[in-house]
Amino acid sequence: MDLQRVLEKCGNFGPYQILLLGLYGYTNIVSSFHYFSQTLISFTPPYRCSAPVEEYSQNFTERFSCSVLQYDEDRTSFRHSKCSSWDFDKESNYESVTTELEWVCDDAYKLAVGQSFFFIGSALGSIFFGYLADRIGRLPACVLSTLTGASGDFFTSFVGSLPWFSFTRFISGLSSDTQYVLMYILVFEYLSPQHRTFGLNIIMGVFYSIGLMISPWIAIWLGNWRSYLWAASLPALGMLLFPLFLHESVEWLLTKGKFDKAVSNLKSVAKFNRRQVEDSVFDEFIKHYREKLNSTQKKSSDTFMGMLRTSRLRKFTIILLIKSMIITIAFDILSRNVEGVGISPFKLFSYSGFVVLPGGLTIILFQNKIGRKGMACASLLVGAFITATTGYLVGTLVPANYSILLGFMVCLARYGAVVAYDAEAQYAAEIIPTSVRGRGVANIHVVGNAFAFFSSYIIYLGTYYKPLPSLLISFLLIIGACLCLTLPETLHKQLPQTLEEGEAFGKGEKWYFFPCFSRNRQSKKSESQLESANEITE
């Protein structure tokens, strides 16, 4: 008797699963506080040079953002002088990293450098905590990952120089994804298959949105970036209580041969769900997995590097890697680039956080109708158009006069990024053969996070020309959309199990094949055949 059948008897959507989903929601709030803390601590308000001391003794002194124009000593010519201090038009008197440390003008690069280390940590953390999860279990690795990220945020609040800022952001980045992914796995394994897609997407959409929408107001209420980082890291301590309520992954325990502990967890779940399960069920369960573990099954020789040895799989792998880089960079930039549109960046960040929920609902409603390739391609293409339009408007319109329009476009661009990110995750998992799916998805995810290192520098390009980040991202999204057309459709297909099947998967399929259009043609053909048959009968 396999695990799914035992879970049905123990309850795969009962009180325990409701508790699990609730704690998963809490994890999403903690995760949103953590990931976007780097955005909320680094807002740069409008600024200009502080008035020089000699201004009051001269007839003319004009201040710019990075220099001051004033009479020369002979008072017959003008000269530009670099600023040594600045006046900031702070939003609600909020003190950010930028305003406190005055990382603007010639020092503006420091913020980009420091924040980029967050993504280096993210890539290495995915590898380290993924390994740790296989060694000590999903639940303890999830708790340790979350506490590591929170400690990075907490220690960041005490630094005042670029080297220490970079180091603490690196520590913070170690858990940017693993704290969410490991909890996702726990929920996935204990939840009934028919409730997974809807339950996981709705919980993530609702609670992640809540975290995004309230975090800017917490920052404004506390008044400075150091206090905000303390508040953002504090909820992570709640993860210490998770082992008191949740059980370790049964599938992980089975792979380690810990059958007694696996049965103990299942019995506890059954008791929590008020189910009576006979001991004979668990005896059959243990017998089944002991035989499976001890059997001399042929071990798969498939490896992730094997995906690069054959022509079609090599093409699929390289395309998935490039798409992961593009989408991860675009998602991060479009989520963070909320300044300079005539609306308070705190308010705009909060309002745009709501799009996570409709983004998840869009995937639920349309992905099974238009297909994986169609959803991935369309989301990237539409996202590119919206992003390019936003960049053009930002460059040509006066933000103070068109703030509502620009704010709406920013929210729309962020919505497109959410849909593209979610669509890409499922599409990649289905294309990669089962034998290397875990390693393949992890490696693609790590590469994407590693290239998010460049997102801070792309945002920095906006200091030279404000629309430049949006225009560059739209160009990359178009490339990603075109690459999608070269991948096979996976909807309603038997997914590849081995590398050999993966090499043959989708062979002969045209680049313009989409299931939604194919069904329409097939439906019309069937109707035509039915009409012909009726005419013959008549």
- Residue 18 pLDDT: 93
Task: State the amino acid at position 329 in one-letter form.
Answer: I
- Residue 229 pLDDT: 96
pLDDT tier, 534 (very low <50, low <70, confident <90, very high otherwise): very low
Task: Read off the pLDDT of each residue in 97-115 and give the average, rounded to a whole number.
Answer: 90
Query: Mean pLDDT lowest for which of 287-296, 327-336, 355-364?
Result: 287-296
Query: Mean pLDDT lowest for which of 85-99, 113-127, 518-532?
Result: 518-532
> Buried (b) or exposed (e) across 500-537, using 16+ Cβ within 10 A?
eebbebbeeeeeebbbeeeeeeeeeeeeeeeeeeeeee
Distance CA 451, CA 422 (A): 18
Instruction: Decide if pLDDT at 4 tops 60.
Output: yes
Q: How many CA atoms lie within 13 A of 458 on its CB side?
A: 23
- Residue 175 pLDDT: 87
SS3 of 256, please? coil
Find which of 63-72, 421-430, 470-479, 524-533 is predicted with most confidence, using mean pLDDT.
Answer: 470-479
Give start and end residues of each alpha helix (H) in 36-161: 37-40, 97-101, 109-136, 138-156
- Residue 296 pLDDT: 37
Distance CA 105, CA 474 (A): 27
- Residue 247 pLDDT: 93
Among candidate residues 310, 321, 347, the one with its CA nearest the CA of residue 450: 321
Query: Mean pLDDT lowest for which of 72-76, 265-269, 494-498?
Result: 72-76
Query: Mean pLDDT lowest for which of 229-243, 373-387, 524-538?
Result: 524-538
For residue 479, give every residue at least 6 positions away whose Cβ sits within 8 Å of its Cβ, in sequence order, or none.
Answer: 322, 326
- Residue 154 pLDDT: 96
Task: Read off the pLDDT of each residue in 372-401 and give the average, rounded to a whole number.
Answer: 89
CB distance 253 to 293 below 8 Å: no
**What is the pLDDT of the chain when averaged over all its residues?**
84
Instruction: Decide if pLDDT at 530 tops 50.
Output: no
Q: Quick: pLDDT tens for 198-210.
A: 777 788 888 989 9
- Residue 15 pLDDT: 94
pLDDT tier, 467 (very low <50, low <70, confident <90, very high otherwise): confident
Distance CA 52, CA 73 (A): 14
Instruction: Decide if pLDDT at 299 tops 80.
Output: no
Distance CA 265, CA 382 (A): 46
Instruction: Decide if pLDDT at 239 tops 90.
Output: yes
- Residue 53 pLDDT: 54
- Residue 538 pLDDT: 39
Quick one: what percent of the chain has pLDDT higher than 70?
89
Task: Read off the pLDDT of each residue in 471-478 and give the average, rounded to a whole number.
Answer: 94
Instruction: Decide if pLDDT at 531 tops 60.
Output: no
Q: Quick: pLDDT tens for 404-428.
A: 998 999 899 889 888 888 888 778 8
Query: Mean pLDDT lowest for which of 123-132, 287-296, 460-469?
Result: 287-296
1-35+105-294 folds as Growth Hormone; Chain: A; (1.20.1250)
pLDDT tier, 527 (very low <50, low <70, confident <90, very high otherwise): very low
- Residue 158 pLDDT: 95
**What is the 3 state secondary structure string of 426-457?**
HHHHHHCCHHHHHHHHHHHHHHHHHHHHHHHH
- Residue 535 pLDDT: 42
More reliable by pLDDT, 178 or 112: 112
Instruction: Decide if pLDDT at 532 tops 50.
Output: no
- Residue 33 pLDDT: 93
Quick one: what percent of the chain has pLDDT higher than 90?
34
Task: State the amino acid at position 248 in one-letter form.
Answer: E
Task: Read off the pLDDT of each residue in 290-303 and give the average, rounded to a whole number.
Answer: 62
Instruction: Decide if pLDDT at 253 tops 80.
Output: yes
SS3 of 415, please? helix
CATH of 303-538, one of 3.30.70.920, 3.30.2420.10, 1.20.1250.20, 3.40.50.1970: 1.20.1250.20
Task: Read off the pLDDT of each residue in 490-517 and give the average, rounded to a whole number.
Answer: 83
Query: What's the token pair of residue 534?
Result: 């009726």
Query: What's the token pair of residue 410?
Result: 């920013």
pLDDT tier, 446 (very low <50, low <70, confident <90, very high otherwise): confident
Residues of the chain with CATH 1.20.1250.20: 1-35+105-294, 303-538
Q: Quick: pLDDT tens for 388-403.
A: 998 888 888 888 888 8
More reliable by pLDDT, 515 or 505: 505
- Residue 64 pLDDT: 59
Task: Read off the pLDDT of each residue in 516-520 and give the average, rounded to a whole number.
Answer: 64
Torsion from C-alpha of 136, 141, 147, 152, nearest 10 degrees = 100
For residue 261, give every residue at least 6 positions away whose Cβ sits within 8 Å of its Cβ, in sequence order, or none.
Answer: 248, 253
pLDDT tier, 528 (very low <50, low <70, confident <90, very high otherwise): very low
Task: Read off the pLDDT of each residue in 12-22 and give the average, rounded to a whole number.
Answer: 92
Q: Quick: pLDDT tens for 32-71.
A: 999 889 889 998 888 888 866 555 444 555 665 787 776 6
With tokens 């069904």, the residue in question is 519
Distance CA 356, CA 31 (A): 14
